[in-house]
Amino acid sequence: MGYDTLKNNPKSYIFTKKYNQTINLKVKPHTKYVTLYFNQVDYDGKHKKLTLYATMYFLAMTGQTATIQTPAGFTFKDGSTVRKLDIKENTGEVLYEVKKAPFKQQIKIYRGYYLLGIIYGSIRCIGCVVGLVGFLKNVNRKNS
């Protein structure tokens, strides 16, 4: 189950009286789509509230181990951001519960965007200062 035997396998086997005998069969794993659902977990007082946050699809083969990464800014309930998933014949849809990452962890996740924003803002400020200085010099030349 989960594998197809290839056509170049022997049609018959000769068994001896040995207790342990090995038969080599060449097989090909089934390819299938796996759907991952990431539900955000919130606690509303006493009740657990689940909200579908993200869905991910990927192509996998039976017997493969896939590495699952949470959406950016989220962690699994145990605080990790990566899990392993063994693909079996009946693996089709998998549900994961995720929660918002703590603020410190979100800063690490989005630090590239923050850095770009700071650089962009700095360049804009420098441009404004240079433009203002040029304008003031121009005004002083006209008044002199």
- Could you tell me how many residues make up the chain? 144
Q: Flag whether pLDDT at 119 surpasses 90.
A: yes
What the block records as the tokens of 117 is: 């924003």
Confidence band for 96, pLDDT divided at 50, 70 and 90: very high
Contact (CB, 8 A) for 70 and 38: yes
Which tens digits make up the pLDDT trace of 15-65? 888 888 888 888 888 888 999 999 998 866 667 788 888 999 999 988 899
Q: Residue 30: enclosing H or E segment and its boundaries?
A: none
Strands 27-29 and 3-5: antiparallel
pLDDT of residue 35: 92
CB neighbours (10 Å) of residue 30? 15
Contact (CB, 8 A) for 49 and 43: yes
Identify the top-confidence range among 40-54, 80-94, 99-113.
80-94
Across the chain, mean pLDDT equals 85
Model pTM score = 0.60
Q: Flag whether pLDDT at 142 surpasses 80.
A: no
Backbone dihedral angles phi then psi of residue 132, each to the nearest 5 degrees: -65, -45
